[in-house]
Amino acid sequence: MHSVVALGADSPMESAQPNRESRRRGAVALVDCNNFYVSCERRFRPDLRKKPVVVLSNNDGIIISRSNEAKSLGVKMGSPLFKVEDLIQKHKVVVISSNYALYFDMCDRVREVLAQFAGIEKYSIDECFLDLSHKKPGELLDYGRAIKRRVEDWTGISVTVGISETKCLSKLANKIGKKSKRAKGVLNLYQSPHLEKALAITDVGDLWGVGEAYQNMLHAAGIHTALDFTKAEEHWVRKKMTVVGARIQMELKGVPCLPLEWVAPPKKQLGIAQGFSLLVESREEMLEAAFFKGSEEAAKAHKEKLAIKEMNVWIQTNPFSDGPQYSDLLPIVFPVATQDTSELIRAVEWAVERLYKPGFGYKRIGVWATKVDPENCVQGHIWVRPDMEKRPKLLKIMDRINDERGRGTLRMASVGINQRWLTKFEKQSPHYTTRWSDIPKASIG
């Protein structure tokens, strides 16, 4: 039986090679925008250059992007703002609320430029994988430099390019390239004599796919560097870290296991959670929030062209407080998958009515669709027929306006106008690229 294991479903190669694509032999690049949100802000605020700058999460809660100057002051990623307030005051760090309309728009511009060079996989808002198999090994470095230059010239966003045989290795090349002065933002580790050294200077916890839990486990087992990890016994890795770890190990050895995906697969889940800017106690305000979440979830479904079959609604008190804690979740099943705004609002309201208990201070409400269908293949029902065409044009217009002007600009009357709990964005920059009135003006003379 053991000889079958190497080729059977247990083998990382077997389960990681569902198609021809993963037998790709050429180079792959990871292009990553440097300090992306801060860079977007600076693009329209030249006065912020050279200054320490941070961008905050929703509710102005934690720090999610830092300029290099802020990094060297010791401002940590993910720090709650109030914990680094002293540092911020002392060094006059500029603090900005996040402005996703701006970041999504800048992200599209960067991707457009990248697509001129190669097939791209959109990995995250600030990262793309590029298929460089059409380039000869000797051309890779110059090509990487050309990519970097054009993105910067055309969008004003600075990027780092890491090149190697596999996705995991290009991630590694990117990470090292970001720190290395000599690389100047482009590091090519494809068929490189320096690869072993790169692996040797990388902590295993800095690898893509190795988080805190695996890092601790590996350190305890005496595996400290990425190089140690490539030498670890394969069956042991498979047993301790599942097929996920086995794939990472193969990829580090230069064997592609993670195919490039040109077309994003349809979303399997669709969620929105929201922290309130302050505690909500009354039933009325919770219901108002429920209405609001219902309409937001619907807008998201319209945008993704998905209909919702099942969703969970939950509410939660502040987990950081010492006060009495309560949280509960209610699943909802729709007889026919829906993306109808009023139906979704009614469902969320129904759930919150049942979940709400007086006597608590609520901090968060969440709506998460756990099962979705593409809107054009909704299963009918013996009593109810799906009729997506009837969705009023009004809803589409509502979605568009909210997309351009920020969530909640237009809403159903039932959502209410009080909303003292609404997410805070107190230090937000203008919508430079998506709102006519916010376009930067240049004065001459």
Partner DNA sequence: TCTGGGGTCCTAGGACCC
Options 137-145, 151-159, 161-169, 238-246: segment touching DNA (CB under 7 A): 238-246
To DNA, the closest distance from the beta carbon of 133 in angstroms equals 23
255 is a contact residue toward DNA (CB under 7 A): no
CB closer to DNA out of 195 and 204: 204
166 is a contact residue toward DNA (CB under 7 A): no
Residue type at position 150: R
Residue type at position 366: G
Q: Which residue has the tokens 């995991």?
A: 168
300 is a contact residue toward DNA (CB under 7 A): yes
Q: What's the rounded Cα separation, in Å, for the pair 25 and 6?
A: 22
Strand pairing class (306-317; 94-97): unpaired
CB closer to DNA out of 86 and 153: 86
Which residues, in sequence order, are bridge partners of residue 310? 333, 371
Exposure of 429 in the CB half-sphere (CA atoms within 13 A): 29
CA-CA-CA-CA torsion sign (360, 364, 370, 375)? positive
**Binding marks (x or -) toward DNA, 107..126, rule CB under 7 A?**
----------------xxxx
In the set 73, 87, 272, 412, which binds DNA (CB under 7 A)? Answer: 272
Exposure of 191 in the CB half-sphere (CA atoms within 13 A): 9
To DNA, the closest distance from the beta carbon of 436 in angstroms equals 26
In the set 212, 233, 322, 389, which binds DNA (CB under 7 A)? Answer: 212
Q: What's the rounded Cα separation, in Å, for the pair 101 and 130?
A: 25
Do 43 and 106 touch, CB atoms closer than 8 A? yes
How many residues belong to the site for DNA (CB under 7 A)?
A: 48
Report the greatest alpha carbon distance in the chain.
82
To DNA, the closest distance from the beta carbon of 203 in angstroms equals 12
Which residues contact residue 123 at a Cβ distance below 8 angstroms, ignoring those fewer than 6 apart?
Answer: 30, 129
Residue type at position 91: H
- Residue numbers 372-411 binding DNA by CB under 7 A: none
Options 195-203, 222-230, 268-276, 378-386: segment touching DNA (CB under 7 A): 268-276
Hey, is 292 helix, strand or coil? helix
CB closer to DNA out of 68 and 269: 269
Hey, is 134 helix, strand or coil? coil
**Binding marks (x or -) toward DNA, 328..357, rule CB under 7 A?**
------------------------------
- Residue numbers 56-75 binding DNA by CB under 7 A: 57-59, 61-62, 64
Do 433 and 302 touch, CB atoms closer than 8 A? no
To DNA, the closest distance from the beta carbon of 125 in angstroms equals 6
267 is a contact residue toward DNA (CB under 7 A): yes
Residue 76: Cβ within 10 Å count: 13
82 is a contact residue toward DNA (CB under 7 A): yes
What is the 3-state secondary structure of 2-13? HHHHCCCCCCHH
263 is a contact residue toward DNA (CB under 7 A): no
CB closer to DNA out of 265 and 445: 265
In the set 80, 335, 380, 440, which binds DNA (CB under 7 A)? Answer: 80
Q: Which residue has the tokens 């979830």?
A: 297
Residue type at position 30: L
Options 80-88, 222-230, 334-342, 352-360: segment touching DNA (CB under 7 A): 80-88
Q: What's the rounded Cα separation, in Å, for the pair 175 and 69?
A: 18
To DNA, the closest distance from the beta carbon of 331 in angstroms equals 8
DSSP 319: T
In the set 287, 423, 434, 435, which binds DNA (CB under 7 A)? Answer: 423
Tell me which residue of 368, 388, 347, 178 sits closest to 274, measured CA to CA.
368
324 is a contact residue toward DNA (CB under 7 A): no
222 is a contact residue toward DNA (CB under 7 A): no
CB closer to DNA out of 208 and 326: 208
In the set 68, 116, 269, 418, which binds DNA (CB under 7 A)? Answer: 269
Site residues for DNA per CB under 7 A: 15, 57-59, 61-62, 64, 78, 80-82, 123-127, 171, 207-215, 242-244, 265, 267-275, 278-279, 300, 318, 320-321, 363-364, 423
